[in-house]
Amino acid sequence: MRYWDEHMECMDRSTLQEIQLKRLVETVKRVYTSVPYYRRKMQELGIIPENIKSLDDLKKLPFTTKQDLRDNYPYGLFAVPLSEIVRIHASSGTTGKPTVVGYTKHDIGIWSEVMARTLVAAGADKHSFVQIAYGYGLFTGGLGVHYGAERIGASVIPISSGNTRRQIQIMVDFGTTVLACTPSYALYLAETMEEMGINKSQLKLKSGVFGAEPWSENMRKEIESKLNIKAYDIYGLSEIIGPGVSFECEYQCGMHINEDHFLPEIINPETGEVLGEGEYGELVFTTITKEGLPLIRYRTRDITALHYDRCKCGRTLVRMEKVIGRTDDMIIIRGVNVFPSQIESVLLEMGEVEPHYQLIVDRVNNLDVLEVLVEVSERMFSDEVKKLEQLEKKITKAIEETLGISVKVRLVEPKTIERSEGKAKRVIDKRKI
């Protein structure tokens, strides 16, 4: 069996729960003392840290949402002085304001550790060549995998995303054995290989760790067949740590959550009530070892279920099923979080278009594409074609600057986008996942 830390990954549940409780109590004390926002929220509920005496008491604590991070932008939820923050990452936000994540040296160590577990479970070791085709920068994907690969002593190829033909050439020349990227990009790499006349037998690839967007079992089979690898699902989110929150083992019957660091719950998204094992609901995490940005009961908006039985691989870490949907309107395109409200704010600033729009997401040649339909005003629509083309370019540029990904904007006649008496259907997702 492949473990990075067999002691922690296969620990009996009662011992693990003792560790979780100790860490939870310490975390609650720390945020109460160091984060005014949490102290205020707990006081409003009439809770003091001493009330947390068991893991069951977790449900007494307040939830944290993405909006809370935005309301405390940029550093309001940090629990340490800024002098102790050694790294800052950020994920996309609805109004151009990102959610900001700070890491201490200790946090970077935890991140490396959970990513080491993730990579070893996928068959990586110190003899591996890990090609990281996730984006580097403020996005947590690239650097998260990078530090985990270095932790296990693997040779890291930090190529980042894009430049597909060069990626393939390097895969062949450098002898890449593990690929890390989004699943849709893995398929795009496979297609480009065919165009270049490169056969999968020329590669030394053995496995891939794929995440940052939803993908199906059919897509897994396609990736495995086209690249001749075993494809592993990984899950993470910047607010909790980045990639490395949970990972698949060789049996691929759910993703093992690193629950000695991230305490999971499943709740009813409407009522907030905690649900039982195997029940589908919203995934909630409490970080119990992080120093820089410890989060209490963070609502991920992801819908899944948890399973606590021991896995065939020997790990006792709880398993989460593949995420089957979201409770909010966020869509993930090529690993980037996109909110309809981001596009709405761009259009409202323009003034030359109506506030009626629709996002159409599709997967073309295995890459996610976003088309934005925008209704123009009667006045603009009667204008000459050249003016409409200029407006289309102007809107495209503004949306791309806001989102950080390419989009196709199509102007449509007034009143052609379907109206709704209830919640407007802003997003049509045609991806088969």
Q: For residue 375, what is the domain's CATH number?
A: 3.30.300.30
- Reduced to 3 states (helix: H, G, I; strand: E, B; else coil), residue 374 is strand
Q: What letter does residue 323 receive in the DSSP assignment? A: P
Range of the domain at 132: 1-327
d(CA 2, CA 70): 39
Region 49-57: what's the mean pLDDT?
98
- Pair (185, 164) in one structural domain: yes
Residue 45 CA to chain centroid, in angstroms?
Answer: 30
Of 205-214, 229-238, 270-279, 282-291, which range is least confident?
A: 205-214
DSSP H or E segment with residue 181: strand 178-181
- Pair (101, 37) in one structural domain: yes
Task: Give tens-digit pLDDT for 77-100.
Answer: 999 999 999 999 998 654 457 899
Q: Give me the pLDDT at residue 353, please.
A: 78
For 5, residues 6+ apart whose C-beta sits below 8 A from its C-beta are 113, 116, 117
- Pair (261, 290) in one structural domain: yes
- Pair (322, 337) in one structural domain: no
- Pair (241, 226) in one structural domain: yes
Region 134-163: what's the mean pLDDT?
95
Q: What letter does residue 138 receive in the DSSP assignment? A: S
Choice between 94 and 65, residue whose per-residue pLDDT is larger? 65
d(CA 371, CA 377): 19
- Pair (267, 298) in one structural domain: yes
d(CA 84, CA 129): 33
- Pair (245, 369) in one structural domain: no
- pLDDT at 53 > cutoff 90: yes
* Domain end marker among 327, 357, 375: 327
pLDDT confidence tier of residue 40, bands split at 50, 70 and 90: very high
200 burial class (0-12, 13-18, 19+ CB within 10 angstroms)?
middle
Strands across the sheet with 306-307, in order?
155-157, 129-132, 178-181, 207-210, 230-237, 242-248, 255-257, 319-320, 306-307
242-248 vs 230-237, strand pairing mode: antiparallel
Q: From its phi and psi, is residue 2 left (phi > 0), alpha (psi between -120 and 50) or beta?
A: beta
- Pair (347, 237) in one structural domain: no
- Going by C-alpha positions, the residue among 95, 48, 107 that lies closest to residue 67 is 95
Task: Give tens-digit pLDDT for 317-329.
Answer: 999 999 877 787 7
CB 399 within 8 A of CB 393: no
Q: Give me the pLDDT at residue 342, please.
A: 81
- Going by C-alpha positions, the residue among 253, 203, 248, 211 that lies closest to residue 228 is 203
DSSP bridge partners of 163: none
pLDDT confidence tier of residue 433, bands split at 50, 70 and 90: low
- Pair (18, 30) in one structural domain: yes
- Pair (258, 377) in one structural domain: no
Q: Give me the pLDDT at residue 422, please.
A: 42
- pLDDT at 359 > cutoff 60: yes
pTM, two decimals, is 0.83
- Pair (223, 336) in one structural domain: no
DSSP bridge partners of 325: 303
Query: Which of 164-198 are b and which e, b meaning 16 or more Cβ less than 10 Å from the residue's Cβ?
Result: beebbebbbeeebbbbbbbbbbbbbbbeebeeeeb
- Reduced to 3 states (helix: H, G, I; strand: E, B; else coil), residue 13 is helix
pLDDT confidence tier of residue 381, bands split at 50, 70 and 90: confident
List the CATH number of the domain containing 137: 3.40.50.12780
Of 31-40, 66-75, 177-186, 374-383, which range is least confident?
A: 374-383
Q: How many CA atoms lie within 13 A of 298 on its CB side?
A: 21
- Going by C-alpha positions, the residue among 189, 231, 235, 188 that lies closest to residue 212 is 235
The whole-chain average pLDDT of the chain stands at 92
Number of domains the chain contains = 2
Neighbours of 96 (CB within 10 A): 12
- Going by C-alpha positions, the residue among 202, 302, 201 that lies closest to residue 245 is 302
Q: Give me the pLDDT at residue 423, please.
A: 47
- Pair (277, 155) in one structural domain: yes
pLDDT confidence tier of residue 109, bands split at 50, 70 and 90: very high
d(CA 234, CA 9): 16
* Domain end marker among 265, 292, 327: 327
Q: C-alpha distances in angstroms, 216 versus 134, 222, 367?
A: 19, 10, 14
* Domain end marker among 292, 327, 362: 327
d(CA 299, CA 311): 26
